Structure 1
Amino acid sequence: MDTDTGYIAAGELLKALAAPLRIGIVTELAAGPRCVHELVDALGAPQPLISQHLRVLRGANVVHGARRGREIAYSLTDDHIARIVADAVSHATEGSSHPARVGS
């Protein structure tokens, strides 16, 4: 993969992650597979909204589903995704507790 292709793919990944609820879903899935109803309970969002965001994440190859009886358990496609999101959340929360420096 050349550099431009890598940048484009990274941009698409970041676009897929660019919604707070999707970040929450990825954070939940970092702990292990979850069914939609478990994500609804954990995140307090309505089921149709969780399902809509899962569709976006599936389309971006961030999550995949595996049948678990009558349900589908969603999990992350790889651990890199969880680290990207955890680092972004950590960075964002660190930045909010420190005043911005002029010239940095």
Structure 2
Amino acid sequence: MTLSHGDVPLHPDRADELGSAMSVVAHEHGDAGPGALADYPVPPPREILAAAGELLRALAAPVRIAIVLQLRESHRCVHELVDALGVPQPLVSQHLKILKAAGVVAGERSGREVLYRLADHHLAHIVVDAVAHAGEDTA
């Protein structure tokens, strides 16, 4: 199965294709203003780099990656994530807490359960790209 983002491969081999892929991402997220294509003529401000580092740290665990991939499909409660991932409930809850603190996921109470969802589906693309890239390295 080839993972793709619309008609643009997630990991293009040529620079011109990468530029095209970046245009698709910018188009999907509206006009994000200067630097929307991450084409910085100078390094971004330290605050932006620090925030990006925190976000990537929040995503940097196999269980959290798996949670994001699950939530990409639909909203899930903790027990559904436990069943899907095959890991203990306290571990899923701990990772959800980290993802929630980083603004990656949001929870909404539904009766006795909390339904978790991605706060921004744009973040799922980062995870899908990372998984696809890792798969290329092992192929």
Secondary structure at the aligned position of 1:45 is classed as coil
Number of paired residues?
96
Deviation at 1:3, TM superposition (A): 2.6
The aligned counterpart of 1:61 is 103
Give the TM-score of the pair, scaled to structure 2: 0.67
**Matched residue type, 2:120:** D
SS of the aligned residue for 2:115 comes to: strand
State the identity as a percent: 59
Structure 2 unaligned segments of length 5 or more: list them: 1-43
Q: Answer yes or no: is 1:72 the counterpart of 2:72.
A: no
1:13 to 36, 55, 61: 55
Distance 2:98 2:112 in 1: 22
Aligned residue for 1:3?
45
Q: Deviations over 1:27-62 (max 9, x none)?
A: 000011100000000000000000000010011111
**How does 1:30-69 map onto structure 2 within 5 Å?**
30-69=72-111
Task: Kindly name which structure, 1 or 2, has the bigger radius of gyration based on alpha carbons.
Answer: 2
Could you say what the CA RMSD is over the residues aligned between the two structures, in angstroms?
A: 0.9
* Counterpart-to-counterpart distance in 1, 2:105 and 2:97: 9
Specify which of 102, 112, 123 is matched with residue 81 of structure 1: 123
Secondary structure of the residue aligned to 2:60 is coil
Higher relative contact order (CA 8 A, sep 6+): 1
Query: 1:33 is matched by which residue type in structure 2?
Result: H
CA distance in structure 2 between the partners assigned to 1:85 and 1:27 by the alignment: 7
TM normalised by structure 1 equals 0.89
- Which has more helix, going by share of residues? 1
The one-letter amino acid of 1:7's match is L
How far apart are the structure 1 equivalents of 2:90 and 2:49? 32
